Amino acid sequence: MIPIRRNLHFRLRPHDLGHWHAQGPYVTHFINAMSLFFPEGERYFIHSVRHYRDRIADPALQTAVTAFIGQEAMHGREHEDYNRLLAQAGLPAKELEAHAARFLDLLKARLPAAAQLSVTIAQEHFTAIMAQLVLTDPRLTAGADKRLAALWRWHALEEIEHKAVAFDVYRTVMGRGAAAYVLRSGSMLLTTVGFLGLVLFYQQQLLKADPQVRGAQGFGRFLDFLFRTPGLLPRLALPWLAYFRPGFHPWDHDNRHLLTQMSAVVTQAQRPVLQAA
């Protein structure tokens, strides 16, 4: 599958990002916290894949890498707009984006290129399995304005479309042997803990700074979101574990039929702002 770079603008409005999630402020800021990670995260993914670009002989994979870079750059740009609105609402978005940048710069400075790429492919699997949920369970984005829901669905669709690109680059440069397996599996364990830890930390900072949140209001509904309705964590468990099969490939789970949702998202992005409500 060759991904396609789509230059879409979702033009979110300030009121799209209030307490938008139907399951309360904890869930709202949990999802907003992911957005805070994305601009720097996407740049890190691009950096780690681009490093190996010259080592790819397969023209189809070369084309896919170019599209992967284009898609991630567009995601970064749209999430920058999302995060700017969070900052305009008085939330510490800039500080938390800067925190993510420092963290990822540290990885770039300290990790060998292969380990950096292994973090990217782990994160790409994680985002692809979350994307599956976003596209198949409306409760993930319940309460979102059409424009905000479309942004998350567009990001999810393109994560599925390009889910194997970084993985195929990794296979090309690292092969399929034991060392490649150990590195990618170890990275998945550390990346999962690191990513969830960062997102929960950012969520707490957003909640603390949000004048509309009182005490632990909505915490019970957040636990419900994580464990029961829709049950984010138990539903991610099996697809997450699939990554540890030695012969795993992202397209073992063929969910390309979901990409039929793309045209609705593109149409939504192209609607004039005033008609979006």
Least distance from Fe ion to the Cβ atom of residue 121, Å = 10
When asked if residue 79 is in the footprint of Fe ion (CB under 5 A), the reply is: no
Cβ distance to Fe ion smaller for residue 154 or 222 = 154
Q: How far is it, in rounded angstroms, from Cα 192 to Cα 127?
A: 11
Residue 259's Cβ-count burial label (10 Å; 0-12, 13-18, 19+) is middle
Residue 15 burial by Cβ neighbours in a 10 Å radius (0-12, 13-18, 19+):
exposed
Nearer of residues 124 and 145 to Fe ion, judged by Cβ = 124
Give the residue from 168, 206, 194 showing the smallest Cα distance to 63.
168
Q: Give Cα separations from 245 to 44, 179, 236 (angstroms).
A: 26, 14, 16
How far, in Å, CA of 181 to CA of 174, rounded?
9
* Beta carbon nearer to Fe ion, 29 or 75: 75
Nearer to Fe ion, 40 or 72 (CB): 72
Smallest distance, Å, CB 38 to Fe ion?
A: 7
Query: Applying CB under 5 A, which of residues 21, 29, 75, 99 lies at the interface with Fe ion?
Result: 75
User: Measuring CA to CA, which residue among 48, 51, 53, 49 is closest to residue 104?
Assistant: 48
- 184 in contact with Fe ion (CB under 5 A): no
Alpha-carbon distance of 274 to 255, in angstroms, equals 34
Nearer to Fe ion, 23 or 83 (CB): 83
Region of 84-92, 106-114, 153-161, 225-233 interacting with Fe ion (CB under 5 A)? 153-161
Nearest alpha-carbon partner for 34 in 149, 101, 127 = 127
Stretch that binds Fe ion, among 9-17, 52-60, 68-76, 111-119 (CB under 5 A): 68-76
- CA gap 173, 116 in Å, rounded: 13
Q: How many residues bind Fe ion (CB under 5 A)?
A: 4
> Which residue's CB comes closest to Fe ion?
75
In the complex, least distance from residue 69 CB atom to Fe ion, rounded to whole angstroms = 10
- Min dist CB 45 to Fe ion, Å, is 6
- Least CB distance from residue 219 to Fe ion, whole Å? 29
In terms of CB distance, is 39 or 230 closer to Fe ion? 39
Give the number of C-alpha atoms closer than 13 A to the C-alpha of residue 233, restricted to the C-beta side: 10
Applying CB under 5 A, the residues found at the interface with Fe ion are 72, 75, 124, 159
